[in-house]
Amino acid sequence: MTASARPQSWPFDTVLIANRGEIAARLVRTVQRLGMKAVVVYHSADRETLAVHTADQAVEITGTPPVAAYLNAAQILSVAKATSCGAIHPGYGFLSENAVFARAVEMAGLVFIGPTPEQIELMGDKVRARGFVERAGFPVATSAIEDDDPATFAHRARCLGTPLLIKPSAGGGGKGMHIVRDLALLQTEIERARSEAERYFGDGRLYVERYIERPRHIEVQVLGDNYGNVVHVFERDCSLQRRFQKIVEETPSPALTPQQRQHICETAAGIVRSARYRNAGTVEFIFGSSGEFYFLEMNTRLQVEHPVTEEVTGLDLVEEQLRIAAGEPLRYSQAEIQSRGHAIELRLYAEDPAHGYAPTIGPILALHPPHGENVRWDSGIVRGSEVTSAFDPMLAKLIVRGSNRVDAIRRADQALRQTVLLGCKTNIAFLRRLIAHPAFVAGDVHTGFLEESWQIAAEPVMSVSKLQALLAAAALSTRPMVGGADAVPKLHAAMGSWRN
């Protein structure tokens, strides 16, 4: 897209970014490109990160644990006022789908880069959104909602039959979700889900859905403005997940026929139009193996995987969000939005796939991002950053675009191979095995694929020559070993050459 500066008529020229990590750095980029100033807030644990280095101004906020800083609306608002910000961009996670925060931003006379508080209340609440979508005539999965009658909740859940999926009403991001295949475990799993939901969302209400076996997760990017205009920006296939969290996303979906693609995208646009939604948003669907699909939820914010959409359409979704928030009408008709080529995003996590994807921590000692044509690296870390357990373990997103899917996979492998990130265990080698797997290459995966094909996560057997090379590299980099080796000849010299 053209690098056009913000018009003078906009109600803001300085944007506070209420987030951290890669998304904060990515938001800074677009805000600055449009000729505006970007202010970031950060917890001291995030001092050595890209967003703090690149923002026009960075203001420290406090909180214990560190995530609390980014959830502290009052603190963030007072920074916004003190730095003369006219708008707040919440990114994803944290306060991005918090209607109380959106309202407080508006009450403070600032622009919230997002939907109206009422739209968050409607579409951001999973249970309410399901009801709305169902009433509007769109497909939803059968479910039991605790709020309808808490006393009969477990009974109604049982009646749906197994397998079941328990979800927090206020949830997102896979937190507190549990599959139940054996009804004897229903009560235990409900209690576990409730405990997690209470801690993550401060809200223990749950609902249970019939779990669709071997489903694909397909979502549709949408844009709506203040004047009732809505367009979709095509779908993303996010079927590769571990623990209900996405790790590889792509567009177009390899599973859809052109007719199915059009149908699911138009359904999403229809839902969003019914809600008179404003802002960028994502409508998520469960897509069954026989082509049926159900509304899952709507995310009323920018999505982690938005870059794949940007790569195939040329749009900058953050710029569109800013324009919509500034009161501009949508700049494109549906027909003007075209998708070209194939884009794949790979999420690089600080984790150990061979040990149940357990998160890892450590300092970033060396970092060489991949480079090359159609390779995009969205990351918040720099050399010297410290990966801690205080935040989400996502380190970076690698996005590649190819002329078709085969080309994109090839580029993705090449880019992963180039990536050097030393200091904590990451999933890079695992991602390479994953995208080389015949099922992925064939586009034949579902959200439970990694649980079924757990062998991909196991460390492959290492060749002797590779093991030897690693031990040599390590030994030659370890002072006591090199020092020990160096000391011996001297000893021999002192003793004379009697051995010869």
Partner 1 sequence: MHHGFKLDDTEYSVELSRGRNGYRLHFDGVTPEVHLSSAADTRRWLTVGGQRFEVVIATRGDDVFVHLDGEVHHLRYRHPLDRLRAQSQISAEDSLRAPMPGTLVAIRVAAGDVVTRGQQLLVMESMKMETILVAARDGLVAAVHYDTGRTFDRDALLLSLEPRATAPT
By CB under 8 A, name the binding residues for partner 1.
Answer: 65, 173-175, 192, 195-196, 199-200, 243, 245, 354-356, 358-363, 365-366, 368, 388-390, 392-393, 416-418, 420-423, 425-426, 428-429, 432, 459, 464-478, 480-482, 484-486, 488-489
| Comparison of 455 and 468: residue with beta carbon closer to partner 1 | 468
C-alpha span between 239 and 241 (Å, rounded): 6
C-alpha span between 254 and 476 (Å, rounded): 47
* Shortest Å, Cβ 426 to partner 1: 7
| Comparison of 69 and 337: residue with beta carbon closer to partner 1 | 69
| Comparison of 245 and 303: residue with beta carbon closer to partner 1 | 245
| Comparison of 172 and 252: residue with beta carbon closer to partner 1 | 172
* Shortest Å, Cβ 467 to partner 1: 8
* Shortest Å, Cβ 110 to partner 1: 31
| Comparison of 335 and 366: residue with beta carbon closer to partner 1 | 366
Cis-peptide, bond into residue 7, ω within 30° of zero:
no
* Shortest Å, Cβ 203 to partner 1: 16
| Comparison of 306 and 425: residue with beta carbon closer to partner 1 | 425
* Shortest Å, Cβ 26 to partner 1: 21
| Comparison of 201 and 332: residue with beta carbon closer to partner 1 | 201
* Shortest Å, Cβ 367 to partner 1: 10
Tokens 């050097």 sit at which residue?
Answer: 420
| Comparison of 163 and 173: residue with beta carbon closer to partner 1 | 173
Give the β-pairing of 230-242 and 358-359.
unpaired
* Shortest Å, Cβ 45 to partner 1: 10
Query: Distance of alpha carbon 210 from its chain centroid, rounded?
Result: 25
| Comparison of 229 and 414: residue with beta carbon closer to partner 1 | 414
185, two tokens: 């475990």
462, two tokens: 């290492």
* Shortest Å, Cβ 359 to partner 1: 5
| Comparison of 363 and 443: residue with beta carbon closer to partner 1 | 363
Backbone angles phi, psi at 453, to 5 degrees: -105, 55
* Shortest Å, Cβ 150 to partner 1: 23
* Shortest Å, Cβ 371 to partner 1: 14
* Shortest Å, Cβ 433 to partner 1: 10
Beta bridge partners of 230: 224
Burial grade of 374 (CB within 10 A; 0-12, 13-18, 19 or more)? middle
Q: Is 379 left (phi over 0), alpha (psi -120 to 50) or beta?
A: beta
| Comparison of 48 and 56: residue with beta carbon closer to partner 1 | 48
